[in-house]
Amino acid sequence: MSEKESSCPEWEDVEKKDYRGIWVLGDIHGGRISEASLQMLTPAKELATKLDVDVTGVILGSKISKVAREMFYHGADRSILVDEPSLGTYFPEIYASVMAQLAKRFKPELILIAGTMRCREMAPCIANILRVGITADCTGFDVDSESRDVLQIRPPFGAIMLASIRTPFRRPQIATARPNVFPLPKRDEGKMGKIIRAEVDVPKPRGRLVNSQSLGLGRVLLEKADCIVSAGKGIGGPEGIGLLEELASQLGGVVAGSRKAVDAGWLPADRQIGQTGKTVKPILYIAVGISGSAQHVFGIREAKSVMAINTDSEAPIFKYADYGVVGDYRDIVPALIEEIKRTKLSRPNQLAGMEGMTQRK
């Protein structure tokens, strides 16, 4: 099937050979670039080596010149900077318009975008303006050496297989990945690159920001937590959350949950872990009453140690756990709490600093 036959007749034709290079969009908030955006430089550099192209970081916002260097420090070869006062307030359609203008001008073959809340909102807007496809929540990438198509690898719902998705007829290719799926590149302040200051037509927003409020400033981000105690349907009801919070407090951790626990209303949506929630990489993950579906296990693949507590000795979670306890959590968790308290009193140095390990910098 030819490109003409595979494209909407209303879309402009594209010449794939005119598109070269890989872009990583930097998500800027509070004057800092998100760690999730910097993580995307890891697959970008790997793909750039295979395609023999450069990696470009794209930074949009107001008064953000210094932030562009972070892209170099983490592996980008150059940065495109759009520093405009009118971009001081984030509007998804405005940022998407600016990105689309840049893509049409510079013609990258691939744009990688972190799956942060803002970027998950913005990415499909960019794809819509450019009339291209987008693959969300990728877990890996590869290259077809003959066509230069990037294989965008992601698990379909069910997470029992991996799908390799290609965009054979349109450019640029666009893909997102959730935070913590890829490691953060090593920071090297000695690495520098070229900054391109681009001028674009920033459209006027159709709305205005009336008020903004920061939420959850006192809460630890799940993506950065070193210890997570997670609730599943097996805890029986919301009354069990308090017991898990006490265990998490003793370990200097935070409480999260499976999709079933969140759907039941026992925990807020921002505490959900799994394929449709957050991807985490704690030092210790304690799964309480969680069966261990593939969707949930997907979100804890990077955990260093997993402990499972479940009444069902055949629960799939035990296949992934480093430590397993079969029994009622209402008996096991209080016993754990008491043992931790005794250890703190008898051997304080052994658990010293545990309360302060809740969030990595």
Q: What is the pTM of this model?
A: 0.76
Quote the radius of gyration of the chain (alpha carbons, Å).
23
Six-digit token pair at 236? 């029986």
Strands (E), the chain: 22-26, 28-29, 32-33, 55-61, 78-83, 110-114, 140-143, 150-154, 163-165, 173-177, 194-197, 227-231, 254-257, 284-288, 305-310, 323-326
- Residue 46, CB-side half-sphere exposure with 13 Å CA sphere: 14
Domains and CATH numbers, the chain: 12-197 (3.40.50.620), 222-356 (3.40.50.1220)
Q: Give the pLDDT confidence of 122-156 residue by residue, as tens digits.
A: 999 999 999 999 999 898 999 998 899 999 998 77
Distances (CA, A) of 110 to 16, 114, 194, 299: 11, 13, 19, 26
Which helix (H) or strand (E) element contains residue 356?
none
Selection from 51, 141, 126 nearest residue 92 by Cα: 126
Q: Which of 46-55, 80-89, 123-132, 213-222 has the lowest mean pLDDT?
A: 213-222
d(CA 134, CA 25): 14
- Cβ atoms of 60 and 94 within 8 Å: the answer is no
Which long-range contacts link 207-212 to residues 24+ away (Cβ below 8 Å)?
Answer: 207/91, 209/89
Taking the C-alpha atoms of residue 323 and residue 307, their distance in angstroms, rounded to an integer, is 5
Mind listing the pLDDT tens digit for each residue in 302-361? Answer: 899 999 999 999 999 999 999 999 999 999 999 999 999 888 887 665 555 445 444 444
